[in-house]
Structure 1
């Protein structure tokens, strides 16, 4: 990746942090986003240790080179950042963008004995049979072994519902990943709201849910444009994110 491409990657990733904070999807100074700047995933950008999402700038992001000694990699990172994202990019080199969050509604669904996102509308149907699930919360994910376990659960999926923990979304671009995380949280918000009525859910048929999920998969340009539109708001209201 050229220096120009890395600069663009830094700007896009910084924007994702700012937007997540604006939407209230952040968790204090925890959680992490990463974005590869090499085809093999050995070099990636990630947020520095314990920096609030709302303050992150492009120049603040840490460039991780996994070919270097671990001691030089981890000094600027939260241990959980290296444990999860280091293993994720190692096991899935084609996964360029990875977002791990603890949003309220998605995390609420992750705490249920049945964390399935049932297809009850267009947003929830996006995830029909397209989620991987972790049913074993083992505490803070701060070891390489735990990171490797989580990364291995994704397999052919792009979203992991982390039981009693949160969610992880991966994608080829930061725009697709961000839009997916946004819609996932909206879907879980709708499902939690529906559950709260105490009424029986009206679940879409498998045929319609599958058709809707496939239609979503054809709208990558929609996802990317959603992110670009949000960046225009940041350009006007928080231009320092790109510094």
Structure 2
């Protein structure tokens, strides 16, 4: 008998935490990933409060209901995670996966007076006209209204560059979400390195940037395979991720 949707999602999401820790993109015992396991998107898995990404197992993930306010009172649920992820899964049923991180290069770009990812290469071009920006950081998300505000900012886009904060990526699958946030961090690393030279950027034309972004959108199988390769690496390193 094959695995259920929830069982598969638990394994894939747990592997994503391990991969992000392996790549050094985690933030102490903070930041959160979630993935929907119901058709309406409201029942979702979330990492438990203050557990390091490198130690998360499939069985550690919390199963929550975005319509159940009692989830906010649980001691193993981080308040900021509930405010953000709970609202996204409640309001946007098409969003199956939400990854929120503070990776160094993407966060550095988010801290600029004008947060932006100009298309200067193949990686940065993936995000041409495809990233929403939040310029109203007001401290840690501690209420559902803030989560609702963030959800509204996506407005048809899948990525949110969170000014003075970090980044949030949404996707239909865990594999696509992982590859997306990895590529965005790589894109920002390239961008920050180019800016650091003090030389003018050679920005791609809008036509070439749009063509490149559309090409990325046609190769979701590349994203899935990137994730599968990294997942297998994590399983081989430490099979406890499957527990």
Smaller-chain TM-score bracket: over 0.9
Question: 1:5-84 maps to which residues of 2 (within 5 A)?
Answer: 5-68=5-68, 70-75=69-74, 76-84=76-84
* C-alpha distance after superposition, 1:127-160 (max 9, x if no partner): 0000001011110012101111111100100000
Match of 2:4, SS state, is helix
Match of 1:59, SS state, is helix
Q: Aligned equivalents of 1:3 and 1:81: distance in 2?
A: 27
Q: Aligned equivalents of 1:218 and 1:27: distance in 2?
A: 31
Once superposed, what is the RMSD of the aligned Cα atoms? 1.1
Judge conservation of contact 1:65–1:73 (CA < 8 Å) in 2. Answer: no
Between 1:232-241 and 1:186-195, the stretch displaced more is: 232-241
Corresponding position of 1:93: 93
Q: Aligned equivalents of 1:37 and 1:78: distance in 2?
A: 20
Match of 1:180, SS state, is helix
* C-alpha distance after superposition, 1:34-77 (max 9, x if no partner): 00000111100000001000000000000002333x12454121
Q: TM-score, normalised by structure 2?
A: 0.97
Question: 1:42-191 maps to which residues of 2 (within 5 A)?
Answer: 42-68=42-68, 70-75=69-74, 76-191=76-191
Corresponding position of 1:220: 220
Gapped runs of 5+ residues in structure 2?
Answer: none
Q: Aligned equivalents of 2:142 and 2:222: distance in 1?
A: 35
Between 1:233-242 and 1:5-14, the stretch displaced more is: 233-242
Q: TM-score, normalised by structure 1?
A: 0.97
Q: Aligned equivalents of 1:175 and 1:133: distance in 2?
A: 23
Question: 1:195-214 maps to which residues of 2 (within 5 A)?
Answer: 195-214=195-214
Q: Aligned equivalents of 1:140 and 1:203: distance in 2?
A: 34
Judge conservation of contact 1:64–1:73 (CA < 8 Å) in 2. Answer: no
Match of 1:24, SS state, is coil
Q: Aligned equivalents of 2:66 and 2:236: distance in 1?
A: 36
